[in-house]
Structure formats: C-alpha cells, structure tokens
Amino acid sequence: MTNQNMQAVLFDMDGTLINSEPYWLIAERELMSRFDHRWSDEDQAYCIGGPLPKVGAYMSKLAAGAADAYFFETELVRMVAEQFSKGLEFMPGAEELVHDLIANEVPIALVSASPRLLVDSAIALLPAGTFVSSVSNQDVHTSKPDPESYFLAAANLNVEIKQCLVLEDSKTGIDAGLSSGAVVIGIPHIISYPPSKRLHLRRDLVGLTTADIRDIFHSKSQEAS
C-alpha cells in the first residue's frame, strides 16, 4: 500500500509558476523571422515545455540548417534572459499557492527544463528562501520528459518521489512527473492531456490551497495503489 503522506511539492517553472511562455514565444518568433520563417501556433505547440535541445534542433531544421541547433538554443536563452531581467509575472494562482505552502511548512522545489541561467534569474526575482532547492536542465544528464530531474529534486529534499506532488503545464513535464511515480496536477494550456491515474487536471491554480493539494494527493495515491 502506498504511503499517503505528501512530503513535498515540486513546481515546474515556465507556464506553471511564472508566465514566461509569452517570452519564449516572442523570442522564437523574432529569432525565426531572421531566417524568413513565420513561427506558427503549431510550431509553438510542438516546442512548448522543451527540452531546449529539441527546440534548437527543430528551429535549425526549419532554417534549413542555416545555423545549428546550439546557436538556436543559446540565442533563445539569451533573448529570454534579457526579458526576465525586466520582471516576471506569476501564473494565475501560483503566487498565492506558494505562500500557502510555505505557511504550512511544505518544502517546495523548482524543477525546470530551462538552463540554470534562467532558473537563477527567476529565483533572484522571488523572495529569498521561496524554494528549498532547484533543478535546471544542466543539473541532469537527461531533461524532461525523462523523469531524472524529478528524481533529483526529491533526493535533494530527502523525500521519496512517490511522496511528492508535481505541478506541470506541458505534455513534456506531465510525462516526466508521471514517469517519476509522483502524483501530478496538470494545468495544460495550448495542449490537451488525457486523464490518467496519479494525474489531476485543472484549468489553473486559482483558489488551490495546501489542504486541496493534500486531498488530491491522498485521492490519487489511493487510486494508483
């Protein structure tokens, strides 16, 4: 029988904690316009959630190899980091949920498929001590949708991954969270995701409290056991 006690919450960054997807979209459109490609909704849907090497390779292909994947990866990060420096906006309900988790002494970690530069840029704009730890794509051998980043986040918090609740918005991230064995609250936007065991789907995080999350965790853990 699965232990039903939630020990930690693992937050995805882009599109879950902060409203950074518009920054990525602006950078993607601007960068691809240099190569005479109009970035479409289909392009964005394919790339949302990364991982970054996948995006870089995709953009290089669209540019007919005029620049390699590494160029697109590094240039995107540079452009998005520049926008981060001007300030960040929380996703609806995310800031309130973070405060409630901290008030209830639930450890939270930031787990991102973005590089360390962007993770640290986001953390620097948040109150000190918001996250106990953070994981970037540079801290693991294989980033999302591989579950390695979630295994590392749980290990950093000294808890079992099956006692963690993951918050994710992209297919890439939801896949990673479910593959890890965690309970996942998915907030898919742009993409759709089918219901499954250990997955609770919501439109957003508005009104979600620590008590709600504990109830969801308990219910989904029982369902999967």
Q: Please, what are the domains in the chain?
A: 8-19+89-224 (3.40.50.1000), 21-84 (1.10.150)
The full length of the chain comes to 225
Token pair recorded at residue 14:
């882009």
pLDDT at 3 over 60: no
Lowest mean pLDDT among 93-97, 115-119, 131-135: 115-119
Q: State the Cα–Cα distance between residues 193 and 176, nearest whole angstrom.
A: 13
Query: ∠ CA(134), CA(3), CA(178), 5° rounding?
Result: 50
SS3 155: helix
Sign of CA dihedral 147, 149, 152, 153: negative
pLDDT at 1 over 60: no
| DSSP annotation of 122 | H
Lowest mean pLDDT among 122-126, 161-165, 217-221: 122-126
Judge whether 103 and 140 are in contact, CB under 8 Å.
Answer: no
